[in-house]
Structure 1
Amino acid sequence: MALEDASHVIIADLLNSRTGQTLSESRRWRISTALSGLFREFGIENVDQLACLLERPGEHQLATRVVEALLNNETYFFRDHAYFTTLGNTVLPELAKKRADSKRLTIWSAGCSTGQEVLSLAMLFCEQPGRWADWTIEILGTDVSGKAVEQARSGIYSQFEIQRGISVAQMLNFFSETAKGWKVADRVMNMTRFEQRNILDFPPAPGRFDLVLCRNCLLYFDPATRRTAFDRLASGIAPDGFLMLGAGETVVGQTDKFEPASCGSAIYTRSAAETSIGVVLSGATR
């Protein structure tokens, strides 16, 4: 194996050990491009020198910076707008019927990146005040990237970021311009909270979430890791809750924890076998 190839393996293994993501050989061309800023900052000339530095004891901070740089944090407001239409017109009304007694919805955006997906959900609720005025809405966003979570918590976005996916009316309604950028309104942020967390970790609130969004994240896992991710997602969703995946993702042939729902593309529910087990276990613990 050539020295540069061995260095690429070391960096790919670092990403996998920290996040579970697989950087396939065909995608390793990204390494030099994604890390070019770090190379300049640390005076590193090439991937071989970086690999040598990463192998030294005590380079935890550099390793973290490398992983952060390799993560794909691509996102924007109302990404794949048709999916949000499905949520607003079909999934959320269905959940409103199911939770009519408690008037509480708990949502988890797994792999939320810099927060645009979470805030898009919150804006959906704000745009339907008649339906949700007396409800408690809690939206949790989690991501393996600490840097992305930090921005999400700030609620501040550049002009470019807020122009991606939202209308001028939404921009003026939900954002105000500040010296640091465009800040989302408190009434939107108050529905949300953000945590640094890996999808492969056990869910933050087992069995509690009425809706989980995990879009465009599972693509980066190998089949075995993807099955683990589905297991974690399943254990976080309420028996009658919903899962939304990305356009290029599916549960078919990937897991027996979920099955396609009847309320729209990329929407899934816990499989019948899964919910039956949940009911039995719930009854046994009473």
Structure 2
Amino acid sequence: MSRRWRIETALSALLRERSIATLDELITILVMGKEPGLSSQVVEALLNNETYFFRDRTPFDTLARHALPALAAKRASKKRLRIWSAGCSTGQEAYSLAMMFADEADKWRGWTVDILGTDVSSCVIDRARAGVYSQFEVQRGLAITQTVRWFEEGGDGWRIIEPLRRNVRFQVHNLLDLPPQPAGGFDIILCRNVLLYLCSEKKAQAFDRLSSAMAEDGWLMLGAGETVIGQTKKLVSDTKVRGLYRLDHRKNDDRRMAAQA
């Protein structure tokens, strides 16, 4: 009953807008396929797009102290990093990553850092691409010095400056679909507070997609309340860094040896 109440609450504005009296009537319309565009509106309304710049700060410190220095050494010859922010919502996480690299411009000079943000919602991806945020959204997670450095004020809000905005690309993508390019090549994948909303079967499928998109020595970062334990056999916790996950090469090696026997 509580779950139905939450769904009705999330869809209340849409029901009023479309003059649909009840949730049951909405379900009937969807099943009958009378309004093809309605299903996407329902998905948009049900999504939790909660996010803000440098959300929970600790994960970004973890990347800065552990994953990025290790990758800087491993990728020194090619000078290229690929990072995927999965379930990026309106883009704050992806832009926060871009700020991290820009704040250490000398260290990353000459590097190509490709930051991709994806989300199943086309509305939030449009907002992410525009890079325009309200005063409240900018103040939430950012210091005044960062606001001054990375934003320009306009009539419609605060916009990420173009030099930073061009370092991040966004696309609509469902986490359960085949991974975006480059398949098997992302050095870091952030998928925080996304899998919480999936059932066990879909969660296992999502982990399959995420693991197939990782570089062999890459990292996956999940939300504080998420884990791979009991969810997938393809990933294991990083033994040195809490909150980061790696491909389980022991099982991959076992499968390769079995295939060669």
Q: TM-score, normalised by structure 1?
A: 0.85
In structure 1, give the amino acid aligned to 2:165: M
In structure 2, give the amino acid aligned to 1:123: M
SS at the partner of 2:32?
A: coil
How far did 1:72 drift? 0.7
Report how many residues are paired: 257
Residue 208 (structure 1) aligned to one of 185, 206, 211: 185
Give the Cα–Cα distance (whole angstroms) in 2 for the partners of residues 243 and 191 of structure 1.
21
Residue 238 (structure 1) aligned to one of 212, 215, 225: 215
Percent identity of equivalent pairs: 50
Give the Cα–Cα distance (whole angstroms) in 2 for the partners of residues 278 and 140 of structure 1.
31
Larger deviation, residues 172-181 vs 238-247 = 172-181
Give the Cα–Cα distance (whole angstroms) in 2 for the partners of residues 90 and 163 of structure 1.
27
Over residues 241-285 of structure 1, what are the superposed CA-to-partner deviations in whole Å (9 max), with x where a residue is unaligned? 0000000001111111111113422101111235537989xxx9x
Residue 80 (structure 1) aligned to one of 37, 52, 56: 56
1:239–1:278 contact (8 Å) kept in structure 2: no
Show structure 2 runs of 5+ residues with no match: none
Does residue 60 (structure 1) correspond to residue 36 (structure 2)? The answer is yes
How far did 1:29 drift? 1.8
Give the aligned partner of residue 178 of structure 1.
Answer: 154
Give the Cα–Cα distance (whole angstroms) in 1 for the partners of residues 5 and 55 of structure 2.
26
Counterparts of residues 1-286 of structure 1 (less than 5 Å) = 26-204=2-180, 205-273=182-250, 276=253
Show structure 1 runs of 5+ residues with no match: 1-24
Q: TM-score, normalised by structure 2?
A: 0.93
Structure 2 CA distance for partners of 1:46 and 1:58, relative to 1, 3 Å? closer
1:206–1:236 contact (8 Å) kept in structure 2: yes
Over residues 111-134 of structure 1, what are the superposed CA-to-partner deviations in whole Å (9 max), with x where a residue is unaligned? 111111100100000111121121
In structure 2, give the amino acid aligned to 1:117: E
Give the Cα–Cα distance (whole angstroms) in 2 for the partners of residues 126 and 32 of structure 1.
43
1:91–1:263 contact (8 Å) kept in structure 2: no
1:239–1:275 contact (8 Å) kept in structure 2: no
Give the Cα–Cα distance (whole angstroms) in 1 for the partners of residues 16 and 194 of structure 2.
29
How far did 1:51 drift? 2.2
Give the Cα–Cα distance (whole angstroms) in 1 for the partners of residues 199 and 125 of structure 2.
24
How far did 1:97 drift? 0.8
Give the Cα–Cα distance (whole angstroms) in 2 for the partners of residues 126 and 262 of structure 1.
29
How far did 1:221 drift? 1.0
Give the Cα–Cα distance (whole angstroms) in 1 for the partners of residues 255 and 38 of structure 2.
43
